[in-house]
């Protein structure tokens, strides 16, 4: 019925089921990749063993070469493992069943709500892609983030590990811009305590640091730079928090509007969460409501003190600053940010955990600065003794006879397995990235949305009721006269304000999607308004919808009695409703084959968004295509 659009619930079972199926299918691919790489591992190890055996160096193999440049600096290792775990955690949060349909309206769009138009425009690009391909996008995000996390944890150093950093930086930028609207930095009411400048920006920073050559981690310079940049951020946050007129100094005095922090904490207390956390949040909320000015004074002072400490050259001050920063981050994370993922569709633990990780990594880089790396330390196995008659291949040294040595011959089993696991992790990222790229390039929505909204079509094979009406040019048209061509049939009110123009566009879009097959198809609409039914209205509607130049488009009308017979025959209700409502009618579409038999009956309710409409166009195209080639 027009105006009674089907609104997809976030946990629509059809979409959730498709999401789980996609994840399962992709997981099977991941398992296959791992299985293949295990096989590769065994082949390589066998090859290593045989070559070592033939070279007489069987004992030397376990002590073979490991990739890398000596021990990894402690700060880098901390940042790498921490980032890897965070990315995997984020990926797992994307598994929530409401993610396909809830992400765009519940997370992406609201994140840009207070931002300027150009930010909203940019975010809308992401919203459009996600809305048109919710299952593909949600599943892709899972694998991209889990893959990046795995790559960070497993990739051998230095190159693959740096590549992981680049991947984290690149995907972090995508998330920060399209998913977080730049962390709200361009929006009104941005607050460091609530998440500005965005968790993804800190993920990007971590990725950028991991992408640096390991030599940069030698000495304390990088650590100090990180801490000083973070110090600027903390002091900036203090200034922002102290700025008058932003509601930061206000609690929730009786009868007065709540201050920004009190309002945020109050909102957080409303979300579903464990009882212990809820009691902490509520207690803090009450305290802030009563002592808003004092709480903000402490917050401003703490932010400024931490920021100043980050610039100190004294390691004791730095330690105090780092401890203070971590305590502040944890307090804000629990009491204000609600750990980031409670209530709604949490996609990450918000900004405070990655920020704390950066602070600690920066501090460790200063206090446990590694000695400058002079040259890569390569543990080579002893050169194998030449074996007479062992073949004409090259050993590792020119001019020496012996079996030809391969790059992996010198690797330890651990290094080899890590290399292969890194390849697997890249594969996991690609399992997400390739469908995501394909989704971004496809302007048409997945038909799953139409299926979710309207159900699966009824597949039948019965003679379609005949009709004899006149088209928009006044020429008589009958169903029998259309025999030999497939007919996509629907019922449209020419003065309808909501569904009918959308359905008309869906038919027009489906006609385009059919390509050359459209010549064998007639797109037919029959007027479903007993009052506004003359040719003047069908022509006005066609002009409005740009259908007046569509060669295979027919908009049929006739006398009220003729129309009523057709409506009855096709099960279409058309009720004239008083008091300013439009004619209440069914949204149905029929696909009639060349023999004049109804083959599919589809609900054509266009739902509530452009993505749903685009989805129905693809859905209708598939149905027509099936009937054409059945």
Chain residues binding other proteins by CB under 8 A are 2-5, 495-498, 500-502, 529-532, 534, 536-537, 540, 544, 576-584
Q: How far apart are CA 178 and CA 517, in angstroms?
A: 37
The smaller minimum CB distance to other proteins, of residues 4 and 166, is found at 4
Rounded to the nearest whole angstrom, what is the least distance from the CB of residue 586 to other proteins in the complex? Answer: 14
The smaller minimum CB distance to other proteins, of residues 17 and 539, is found at 539
CA-nearest of 151, 220, 465, 468 to 361 is 220
Q: How many CB atoms lie within 10 A of CB 79?
A: 28
Q: How far apart are CA 265 and CA 25, in angstroms?
A: 41
The smaller minimum CB distance to other proteins, of residues 356 and 528, is found at 528
Q: Are strands 588-592 and 574-575 parallel, antiparallel or unpaired?
A: unpaired
The smaller minimum CB distance to other proteins, of residues 194 and 616, is found at 616
The smaller minimum CB distance to other proteins, of residues 153 and 611, is found at 611
Rounded to the nearest whole angstrom, what is the least distance from the CB of residue 441 to other proteins in the complex? Answer: 28
Rounded to the nearest whole angstrom, what is the least distance from the CB of residue 494 to other proteins in the complex? Answer: 9
Q: How many CB atoms lie within 10 A of CB 48?
A: 21
In the block, tokens 């004409």 appear at: 392
Cis-peptide, bond into residue 284, ω within 30° of zero: no
CA-nearest of 367, 350, 84 to 206 is 84
Asked whether 418 and 156 are in contact (CB, 8 A), the reply is: yes
Residue 602's DSSP bridge partners are 589
Rounded to the nearest whole angstrom, what is the least distance from the CB of residue 606 to other proteins in the complex? Answer: 10
The smaller minimum CB distance to other proteins, of residues 2 and 100, is found at 2
The smaller minimum CB distance to other proteins, of residues 117 and 580, is found at 580
Rounded to the nearest whole angstrom, what is the least distance from the CB of residue 541 to other proteins in the complex? Answer: 8
DSSP H or E segment with residue 168: helix 159-174
In the block, tokens 């004092």 appear at: 294
Rounded to the nearest whole angstrom, what is the least distance from the CB of residue 358 to other proteins in the complex? Answer: 47
The smaller minimum CB distance to other proteins, of residues 220 and 605, is found at 605
Rounded to the nearest whole angstrom, what is the least distance from the CB of residue 133 to other proteins in the complex? Answer: 25
Rounded to the nearest whole angstrom, what is the least distance from the CB of residue 252 to other proteins in the complex? Answer: 27
Q: How far apart are CA 595 and CA 567, in angstroms?
A: 21
Asked whether 490 and 604 are in contact (CB, 8 A), the reply is: yes
What CA dihedral angle connects 266, 271, 277 and 282, to 10 degrees? 20
End-to-end Cα, the chain, rounded Å? 30
């Amino acid at each position: 019925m027009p105006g009674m659009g089907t609104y997809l619930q976030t946990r629509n079972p059809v979409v959730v089921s498709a999401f789980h199926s996609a994840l399962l299918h992709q997981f099977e691919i991941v398992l296959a990749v791992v299985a293949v790489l295990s096989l590769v591992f065994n082949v390589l190890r066998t090859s290593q063993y045989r070559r070592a055996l033939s070279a007489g160096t069987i004992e030397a193999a376990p002590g073979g070469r490991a990739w890398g440049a000596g021990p990894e600096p402690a700060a880098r290792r901390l940042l790498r493992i921490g980032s890897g775990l965070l990315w995997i955690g984020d990926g797992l949060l994307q598994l929530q069943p409401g993610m396909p349909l809830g992400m765009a309206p519940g997370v992406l769009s609201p994140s840009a709500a207070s931002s300027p138009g150009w930010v909203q425009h940019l975010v809308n690009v992401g919203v459009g892609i996600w809305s048109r391909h919710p299952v593909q996008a949600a599943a892709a995000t899972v694998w991209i983030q889990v893959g990046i996390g795995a790559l960070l944890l497993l990739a051998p150093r230095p190159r693959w590990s740096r590549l992981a950093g680049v991947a984290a930086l690149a995907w972090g930028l995508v998330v920060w811009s399209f998913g977080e609207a730049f962390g709200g930095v361009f929006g009104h009411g941005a607050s460091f305590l609530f998440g500005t400048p965005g968790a993804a920006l800190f993920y990007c920073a971590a990725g950028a640091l991991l992408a640096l050559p390991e030599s940069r981690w030698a000495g304390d310079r990088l650590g100090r730079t990180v801490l000083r940049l973070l110090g600027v951020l903390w002091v900036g946050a203090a200034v922002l928090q102290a700025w008058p007129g932003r509601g930061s100094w206000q609690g929730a005095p009786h009868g007065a509007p709540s201050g920004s922090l009190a309002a945020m904490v109050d909102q957080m207390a409303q979300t579903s969460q464990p009882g212990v956390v809820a009691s902490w949040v509520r207690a803090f909320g009450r305290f802030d409501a009563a002592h808003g000015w004092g709480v903000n004074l402490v917050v401003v002072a703490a932010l400024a003190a931490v920021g100043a400490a980050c610039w100190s050259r004294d390691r004791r001050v730095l330690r105090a600053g780092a401890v203070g920063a971590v305590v502040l981050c944890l307090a804000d994370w629990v009491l204000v940010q609600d750990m980031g993922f409670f209530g709604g569709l949490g996609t990450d633990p918000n900004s405070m955990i990655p920020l704390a990780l950066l602070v600690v990594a920066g501090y460790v880089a200063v206090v446990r600065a590694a000695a400058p790396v002079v040259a890569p330390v390569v543990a080579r196995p002893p050169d194998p003794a030449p074996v007479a008659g062992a073949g004409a291949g090259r050993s590792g040294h020119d001019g020496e006879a012996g079996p030809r040595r391969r790059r992996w011959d010198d690797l330890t089993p651990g290094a080899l397995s890590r290399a292969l696991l890194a390849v697997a992790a890249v594969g996991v990222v690609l399992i997400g990235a390739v469908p995501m790229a394909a989704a971004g390039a496809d302007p048409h929505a997945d038909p799953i949305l139409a299926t979710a909204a309207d159900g699966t079509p009824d597949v039948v094979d019965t003679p379609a009721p005949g009709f004899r009406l006149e088209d928009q040019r006044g020429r008589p048209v009958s169903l029998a006269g259309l025999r030999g061509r497939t007919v996509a049939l629907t019922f449209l009110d020419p003065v309808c304000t909501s569904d009918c123009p959308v359905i008309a566009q869906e038919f027009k879009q489906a006609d385009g999607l059919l390509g050359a097959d459209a010549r064998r198809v007639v797109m037919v609409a029959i007027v479903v308004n007993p009052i506004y039914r003359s040719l003047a209205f069908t022509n006005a509607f066609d002009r409005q919808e740009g259908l007046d130049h569509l060669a295979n488009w027919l908009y049929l009308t006739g006398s009220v009695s003729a129309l009523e017979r057709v409506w009855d025959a096709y099960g279409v209700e058309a009720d004239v409703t008083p008091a300013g409502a439009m004619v209440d009618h069914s949204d149905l579409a029929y696909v009639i084959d060349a023999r004049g038999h109804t083959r599919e009956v589809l609900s054509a309710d266009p739902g509530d968004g452009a993505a749903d409409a685009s989805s129905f166009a693809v859905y209708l195209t598939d149905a027509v295509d099936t009937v054409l080639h059945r």
